Structure 1
Amino acid sequence: MNSITHYLHNELPRINAFLEAQTARLDPVVRPAAEHVLGAGGKRLRPLLALVAARALGCTADPYPMACSLELLHSATLLHDDILDAAVMRRGRAATHVEFGRTGTILAGDVLLALANRLVADYDIPRLNAVLSEAILRTVTGEVMEIANVRNTAMSEERYYEIITGKTAYLFQGACECGAILAGCGAATERAAHDYGLNLGIAFQLVDDALDYVSPSEITGKPSGGDLREGKMTLPLILYLRTLPPDARQKLETRIAQDDLDAEAARAIADRVAASGCAEATRDAARGYATLAAQALEAFPASPERDLMADMLDLVLSRNK
């Protein structure tokens, strides 16, 4: 992990400086909301993945506009997600719509989407635009599917994976594949970058969903048991429901469907989900996808950046927020 810490120490100031320079040029009407979401920090995993993938494959072009476009896209989805979820916290601080209102936040998200697309268009590489546009399309589709299945206690595990692949994994995939495209490395290696990013993204979201049941809010920056209260049918809950006797399962499904869980009840159920081993089983599933990502990485030439991408798999699996 020291390699990642060192790389982040060098790259985060550059990534943040680029993002700050771009948002400083925005109209004052939307700039404060954009600065709020970008200034909240975050892991910057998506731009970091794009940078590392591009360099691992010998990229000679300036990768920062492309890499930072991924963070702008991700931030735009966060702005819209928090409104749809009525979330009041994001990364340990007030959600942007709480500070600046729904209308200003929605428009700021739209502006960030447009800015990200313009940054990529300046490379004049049509395939970059195609991959990122597809990633955005898949991301939004995943978010719509998630909304459509809120409090749907009959939702299948297969549909759950469709949702998380869409809403999370495709931006990881887009970051890695765009890095490969910018490096001009050829179709086979682009496919390997695609597979690495997609499987890493699925593993990331699986761990995220497990953490909602086991990690306290002071670490995650989000309310404990938040997914349960919002009616999101994530894998730990899907697995837990299967362990219950029919009567107990029907009772809990009814409470979820009727939005009959206050914060205290949600925390108590979250504790039971964690105690049942279902959160850990979700992390086990994440390990399986990380293994697939590691296999895809074997197509990359040996380099310090490839080693860093392997370390990222361990980081994702071991994180607690």
Structure 2
Amino acid sequence: MNEEGISVLQQFIDEEITKNLAKQLNSAIEGLESPTKDRIREFILSTKGKQLRPALIAVTTKLLIQDTESQESRLARAYKFAIVIELLHNMTLIHDDLIDNAPIRRGKDAFHIRHGTDRALHDVDVLHAYALTLIKDDPAGLKLVLDYAYQVGLGNAIELEDRLDQNFDFEMSRVIKIMEYKTAVVFAGCVRLGCLAANREDLFTEALNKAIIAAGIAFQIQDDYLDILGNPEEFGKMQFWDIQESKRNLFLHFSMRTEHSTKIKEIYNKDIGQKNKEDIDIVLKVFQSIQEKVKEVRDQYAKLAIDGLKSIQANINKDDYQAEELIDFLLILSKYLIERSK
């Protein structure tokens, strides 16, 4: 997305939302006990990402609130959901880096590298349980969070089993399902939580869910693409790590349908972190040759997302300007997620 598009997106995710999220996040971290609190604070603040997930909840609620009298209480509920999602997201980052033995997270040493495996395991357990206690008195919100957290865990489990079993005979649908569970359902869940906080669950239709899921899948395909072919200075992650960890993605799927499949299997069966520069160069050359196939699938899901949102937009009650604003925002956000370079 160009600078103009990003500027439009920032009109929705404004300074007020950014400041409130930071304030609420700091307050939530303070509720932890030291030294876990100190390590978690350092990790979240020093490796701070785009925080799109919590912002998505807050913006959705803010756009949908219909009366000023309930605005404060509804936004307070939205921010609580947002912080829970952000804490759980950071928990999964620490956990995934540990499982993958990834040395770097956003240009810095990964949590388990800085603090050791034992502390990393302990801290993610504490953070997971603590995050859920923040909404223990909100049954509807807690149920949604648990449902989506389960799907994220299931996606991670499927991906891990395929890697450990050295499974190369997988269909594209399996890769897409992993992306849906690990990434896309969280984006959909954030919009649904925002609708819940605004008392507008009627807007979260199956059509909207499908459109956001499609955008989330396109987002993850773009993420995989940037890991292989993006600018490492812009991307902010350790380039080619998906190759090092033998990640099951569309690049691997399509490479198994080339004459180089045997060599790719040989390289991918090496332990994480044991692939040398020659291995990376061989895989990279094959992946570069099939990048158009990957981009084609990405663009298919991007089109599903945009067309789905436009269809919803065309059928919205014109008196419901809050719903119109939400769909406008989701269209802009979807384009950003898909076209981003970092």
Normalised TM-score (structure 2): 0.84
Task: Find the counterpart in structure 2 of residue 219 from structure 1.
Answer: 234
Deviation at 1:75, TM superposition (A): 0.6
Deviation at 1:198, TM superposition (A): 2.4
- Alpha-carbon distance in 2 for matches of 1:197, 1:128: 19
Letter in 2 for 1:89: I
- Alpha-carbon distance in 1 for matches of 2:48, 2:201: 34
Task: Find the counterpart in structure 2 of residue 4 from structure 1.
Answer: 9
Name stretches of at least 5 consecutive residues in structure 2 with no aligned partner: none
User: Size of the alignment, in residue pairs?
Assistant: 316
Deviation at 1:33, TM superposition (A): 2.3
Q: Go from structure 1 to structure 2 and tell me whether the alpha carbon gap of 1:193 and 1:282 turns closer, same or farther (over 3 Å shift).
A: closer
Task: Find the counterpart in structure 1 of residue 152 from structure 2.
Answer: 139
Tell whether 2:60 aligns with 1:53: yes
- Alpha-carbon distance in 2 for matches of 1:188, 1:19: 28
CA contact 1:180–1:193 (8 Å) conserved in 2:
no
Deviation at 1:208, TM superposition (A): 0.8
Q: Go from structure 1 to structure 2 and tell me whether the alpha carbon gap of 1:263 and 1:134 turns closer, same or farther (over 3 Å shift).
A: farther
Which residue of 180, 183, 187 corresponds with 1:172?
Answer: 187
Partner secondary structure for residue 261 of structure 1: coil
Deviation at 1:31, TM superposition (A): 1.2
- The residue correspondences of 1:33-72 to structure 2 (distance < 5 A) are 33-39=39-45, 40-58=47-65, 60=71, 61=74, 62=76, 63-72=78-87
Task: Find the counterpart in structure 2 of residue 256 from structure 1.
Answer: 268
- Alpha-carbon distance in 1 for matches of 2:308, 2:89: 21
The percentage of counterpart residues that share the same residue type is: 25
- The residue correspondences of 1:115-154 to structure 2 (distance < 5 A) are 115-122=130-137, 124=138, 126-150=139-163, 151-154=166-169
- Alpha-carbon distance in 1 for matches of 2:150, 2:330: 26
- How far does the alpha carbon of each residue in 1:214-265 deviate from its partner, in whole angstroms, 9 at most, with x for none? 11333222222211221112112212332x22xx322222322344732442
Name stretches of at least 5 consecutive residues in structure 1 with no aligned partner: none
Task: Find the counterpart in structure 1 of residue 20 from structure 2.
Answer: 14
Tell whether 2:273 aligns with 1:273: no
Q: Go from structure 1 to structure 2 and tell me whether the alpha carbon gap of 1:86 and 1:192 turns closer, same or farther (over 3 Å shift).
A: same
- Alpha-carbon distance in 2 for matches of 1:183, 1:193: 16
CA contact 1:173–1:194 (8 Å) conserved in 2:
yes
CA contact 2:212–2:305 (8 Å) conserved in 1:
no
- How far does the alpha carbon of each residue in 1:166-193 deviate from its partner, in whole angstroms, 9 at most, with x for none? 1112221211111111222244535455
Which stretch of structure 1 is more off in the superposition, 131-140 or 4-13? Answer: 4-13
Letter in 2 for 1:147: L
- Alpha-carbon distance in 1 for matches of 2:32, 2:38: 9
Q: CA-atom RMSD, angstroms? A: 2.3
